[in-house]
Amino acid sequence: MRKPPVRYRLRVTSFLLAALSLFAISAVLQSGGFAQPVMRTGELWRQVYQLMPDLPLEDQYVNKETREVSTSTLISRLIRYHTTTKGRSPLYRLDWKLTLADYLGVNERISSSIYPGADVLRTNPLEGDRAAIQKLNRVQRDALVQALVTTFSPAVPADSSGGSPVSQPSVSPSPSVSPSSPRREPRPGDANLLLTP
């Protein structure tokens, strides 16, 4: 039996490597290997209101279909806008500050057609939510950002020993100098001291 030409074997090998790479990439993406951790945000807004009870609820909007007052609130819509609409991480203060900047009109424009609640509520809540965020002063906005980050941050397990974490000793590349010895400025000719005799 005759061996296939080298060019044919290279093409087949390249094709198999490409197919294997695509398979591996799709498996990683499906498993969520590169994705942010999935968090259920449905009830987290309640925790934010527990941390900041003075925040306005903005829950007076009526559902189009049921004709009853909706259960969505300012913070639930803010969380949905931040995580779902914008795809920002809920773990970082900077991301929350960018979202608040969107509401204040100084970052990205919020599209009223895709704002959370626009499709199910009789009145689009965007303008009311913007007004509520704009009424907050800087200290309140910073407290809101901290409450959101605290709510979404995973709990850090306590150290089993009960003490503070032990830091690894660092290796210093230079010899330690006692703090009592004064540091002297280099003088001409000091480099000659480094030469081997």
User: Is 102 among the domain residues?
Assistant: yes
User: Is 182 among the domain residues?
Assistant: no
Query: Do 70 and 60 meet the contact criterion of CB atoms below 8 Å apart?
Result: no
Per-residue confidence band for 43, with pLDDT thresholds at 50, 70 and 90:
confident
Over 70: is that where the pLDDT of 58 sits? yes
What is the H or E stretch that residue 94 is in?
helix 93-104
User: Is 193 among the domain residues?
Assistant: no
Query: Which pLDDT score, from 0 to 100, does residue 129 have?
Result: 98
Other Cβ atoms closer than 10 A to 6: 8
Print burial letters for 77-105: b (CB count within 10 Å at least 16), e (below 16). bbbbbbbebeebebeeeebbebbbebbee
Q: pLDDT tens digits for 137-147?
A: 999 999 999 99
Q: pLDDT tens digits for 120-166?
A: 999 999 999 999 999 999 999 999 999 999 999 977 555 544 444 44
Query: Which pLDDT score, from 0 to 100, does residue 23 have?
Result: 72
* N- to C-terminal Cα separation, the chain: 73
Q: pLDDT tens digits for 73-126?
A: 999 999 999 999 999 999 999 999 999 999 999 999 999 999 999 999 999 999
DSSP code, position 191 = G
User: Is 88 among the domain residues?
Assistant: yes
Structure tokens at 6: 């080298």
Structure-model confidence comparison of residues 162 and 25, the more confident one: 25
Specify the 3-state DSSP secondary structure of 69.
Answer: strand
Number of independent structural domains in the chain: 1
Smallest CA-to-CA distance from 151 within 160, 159, 143 is with: 143
User: Is 169 among the domain residues?
Assistant: no
User: Is 86 among the domain residues?
Assistant: yes
Over 70: is that where the pLDDT of 4 sits? no
Query: Which pLDDT score, from 0 to 100, does residue 164 have?
Result: 46
User: Is 197 among the domain residues?
Assistant: no
Return contacts of 106-111, CB within 8 angstroms, 24+ apart: 110/81
User: Is 93 among the domain residues?
Assistant: yes
Query: Which pLDDT score, from 0 to 100, does residue 180 have?
Result: 59
Q: Percentage of the chain surpassing pLDDT 90?
A: 55
Domain range holding 49?
44-152
DSSP code, position 164 = P
